[in-house]
Amino acid sequence: IDRMDYLTRDSFFTGVNEGIIGYDRLLKMMSVKEDQLVWEEKGIHSIEKFILSRSIMYWQVYMHKTVLSAEFLIIDLLKRAQELVDAGHDLPASPMLKWFMEHQPDDDTLENDPEVLNKFLMLDDSDVLVSCKMWISHSDPTLRCLANKLLDRDLHQVILSNQPFA
């Protein structure tokens, strides 16, 4: 259900029509039998379209070089922010992002502590964006540079290759 939701939503917001699926038809033909998810036989074409749509969305949107570049830039930015917090710096950030950088709960805690899970569910893109805006004037040159690059969409260069780097 989650995959159908994000496929439809992402297709709409990116303008890529290949992600549009007949989720209502899939849901109507879906059932549970003997603890297994099953579909009516006549729904096989809808299931195939769903699988194909996911594949196309991965290649056209999720694995697009601009998306990958932004993702790696965000990873670099958050790693640097975490390094500063670990070194004892009081880094400004959104309340949720700051909490996670200071506490760093493990997977077991996320799964078993409802309070931590609720905090995690409150974390979203806006936390990164707000924090990034705070970091563009930070004294750390690496953090400042990465934050500026993200906000200015000055993304890392992506080189796609099927050959290993030498």
pLDDT tens sequence across 105-124: 999 999 999 999 999 999 99
**How much is the average pLDDT of 82-108?**
96
pLDDT band at 166 (very low <50, low <70, confident <90, very high): low
Torsion from C-alpha of 47, 51, 56, 61, nearest 10 degrees: 110
Query: pTM for the complete prediction?
Result: 0.76
Q: Is the pLDDT of residue 99 over 70?
A: yes
Neighbours of 109 (CB within 10 A): 14
**Left if phi > 0, otherwise alpha if psi is -120 to 50, otherwise beta: which for 28?**
alpha
